[in-house]
Each structure stands twice: as structure tokens, then as C-alpha cells.
Amino acid sequence: MSIWKSLRTVQELNSLHQATLVQHLGIAFTEVGEDFVRATMPVDHRTRQPYGLLHGGASVALAETVGSMGAGMCIDMQEYQCVGQEINANHVRAGRSGLVTGTARPVHLGGRSHVWSIDIVNDAGKLVCTSRLTVAIIRRGALGV
């Protein structure tokens, strides 16, 4: 059973991020399943730290991007919006090249907050980073934006 209330296609998700950090880092949405969202990010000059390894901040950017898009598709986006409250990440394996893939799945879908678990794996399917994202669900216009 699908969890989505405002389902978007992969193409729509990718088009939302023109001229943003997401585009700059090369993050690309690849799949929306019944209860997950997936995107890839290259490990290259944009996402490596000085030692040549995947930058932890880039992993967190991928995790927040995928989790936030999942959260947004679980609400009525005409009336509400999602804003990040907290994110944490455990970096368990170095990434040096290729693509990493982040998959976000909900842990809790409440009326005022969501919690998402995001696992990032390398090309071999080995865990690189695991992250947990909490987003607040607020009425559109509540931020005065």
C-alpha cells in the first residue's frame, strides 16, 4: 500500500532542484517505491574532502534531500510543507569513487512531524552512512515566506 499523498515522478523530483545545492552535488532521484525514495550522488571533486574520501557533509546533504522529498510526498503539499528539525549521521565506511545511493523510508509519519531513516550504500551495496531525519509539518505560510 502506497504512503504517498502528493506523489511525484522521478522526473518531477529532479526538475525541482535546478540551480540548487542538490544539482551542484549531482544528486539525482532514481526511484519512488511504495514506501521509499531513492537517489544517487557521485563521489567526485564536488563531494570529496581533502583526503579523497566522500565528505560526511555531502552524505548528510544526500540524506536530507531524499528524506525531505519523501516527507513532502506524504503530506498535502497544497496546505502543508516540511522543514528539517534534526538530522544525524553515522559514517561507517569510506567512499572513494563511483556513486552512492541513498534510500529513505519512514519510521514515523505523524500529523506534526515525520522521522525518516536513510541508508546510503556504495556501488557494491555496502553501507557507507546511515542517517535519521526529523521534519516538522507546518501550515504553508507559517514561516512568513
Active-site positions?
64
> Distance between CA 22 and CA 41 in Å, rounded?
9
Residue the block writes with cell 540524506: 63
DSSP 47-115: TB-TTSSBPHHHHHHHHHHHHHHHHHHTS-TTTEEEEEEEEEEEE-S---SSEEEEEEEEEEE-SSEEE
User: In whole angstroms, what separates CA 74 from the centre of its chain?
Assistant: 14
